[in-house]
A and B are shown apart, each in its own frame.
Chain A
Amino acid sequence: MAVLLPHSLPEAFTMLEGAPGAQLLAGGTDFMVEVNAGRRRPSDVLCLGRVPELGGWRREDGHVVLGAGLTYTEMMDGELATLVPGLAQAARTVGSPQIRDAGTIGGNLGTASPAGDTLPLLAALDATVLVGHVAGTTRTLRFGDLMTGPKMTSLEEGEIILEVRLPAELGTQEFLKVGTRNAMVIAVASVAVVVDWAGRDVRVALGSAGPVVIRARQAEELVLSSIDWEGRRLAPGAGCLRDFVALVRAAAHPIDDHRSTAEYRLHAVGVCAERALRRALRSSDREEPAWSS
């Protein structure tokens, strides 16, 4: 049993090779809660907080590449918040300043909770995740292939999440989350909507609404088929919005648990998706609300 404190990525992999199955520890905001409650009893722990290669972020070919160790606080402000505004919105809803200073995007991915606050945005932006292996190889996974179930991922033993790659300045991004209050709340339901004006694409992703973060593909297609890209609004026609909400709800598979009920979550994802879409359309260049149905 050991606490491993690597100071570089090669060191981290060497240590992981020597302690297969070691618990990877980023900000600790999920893992330590489990340990404190006696639900987890760590043996080997690999602390990733000192690995400089996992910190920071950079621009690259119209994308931003986030180090797995980037904290929520670091996503909230500055240039990154203008390049990926939806991620900044989502990060600001995480826990409290204390949690946001500790928790990381790599940790959010590794924990893979359906309530992970950054995950709907990552799903909506078709994020890719770079993963390294002790053997020296790397592979790139689409977000949807990484998260396989509630708190389950396709990561294999000996792998470490290295980077998350997202498009920079992609359209209008909205993130909405429902909980019992504004701070310190785990999502009862959350929705990310991205309207990509240049690429003429619409993405809708739902959190806390099923075993994994869900893309509401049919709802996306409905908006695509009825959006007026030049006028930046939905084409006239009664019922489009109602159908959109119905398709969002049809995509969700929520459960009853200690935090809420399936019925309420279905209601909430519909309301949030409608509101997020309205906001995304309204925040275009038009001054008038761009709503016609």
Chain B
Amino acid sequence: MEQLSTDGALLSYSLRVNGREQAVHDALLGENLLYVLRERLGLRGSKNACEQGECGACSVIIDGRLECACTVLAAGAVGREIVTVEGLTPEGDGLSDLQEAFVAAGAVQCGFCTPGLIVSLHDLLTRSPDPSELEVREAISGNLCRCTGYGRILEAVKAAQEKGRP
């Protein structure tokens, strides 16, 4: 039976992130996935703002589901396929079409919410390549942006959608 027992008060396990097994050493049992990604695995694309699943800045995809990494028990994600914003970028330092569209449309201002928005919208466009504006708005309803007013984000999605068409 699969279980992770503490050694003292600490746990060691491995997580599958962006297609790679990554070892986590001496973690506290209650650590959330966002903390482990950022502070233990050095993946700082996912942002930490609210730690209660409200802002969407830490959105990741786990076994095909869009979730807030801050409300996922990291040790409970053992064996799951975790995709972070870093895993959406093509080889090297390239940007995805959606990321390019964000830059071109000026959909990035302070940039704090951007990784979460990219992950949520990547999830949407994977499931539904040609969404209506209402679908887009609903898909990012869990991602707070306090700079853009969302107008340029919607423009960027539209541009990426059009580019994606054959």
Contact = CB atoms under 8 A, between A and B. Distances in A.
A6 B138 CA distance: 34
Interface string A3-19: 11111000100110000
A57 B99 CA distance: 38
A42 B79 CA distance: 21
B56 A35 contact: no
A6 B79 CA distance: 12
B6 interface: yes
Contact-size category for B: 35 or more
Interface string A31-72: 111011100111101010110000000000000000000010
Interface stretch (B67-75, B107-115, B153-161): B67-75
A14 B3 CA distance: 12
B5 A98 contact: no
Q: Which of B3, B9, B51 has the most CB of A within 10 A?
A: B3
A82 interface: no
Contacts of B142: 95-99, 183-184
A283 interface: no
A41 B141 CA distance: 30
Taking residues whose C-beta sits less than 8 angstroms from the other chain, chain A's interface range is 35 or more
A33 B29 contact: no
A41 B143 CA distance: 28
Contacts of A7: 1-2
A5 B78 contact: yes
A269 to B, nearest CB: 25
Given A3-B4, A33-B51, A97 B30 contact: no
Q: Considering the complex of A and B, which 9 residue pairs feature the smallest CB-CB distances, nearest first?
A: A96-B142, A183-B141, A101-B65, A3-B75, A32-B71, A36-B51, A5-B2, A47-B76, A1-B6
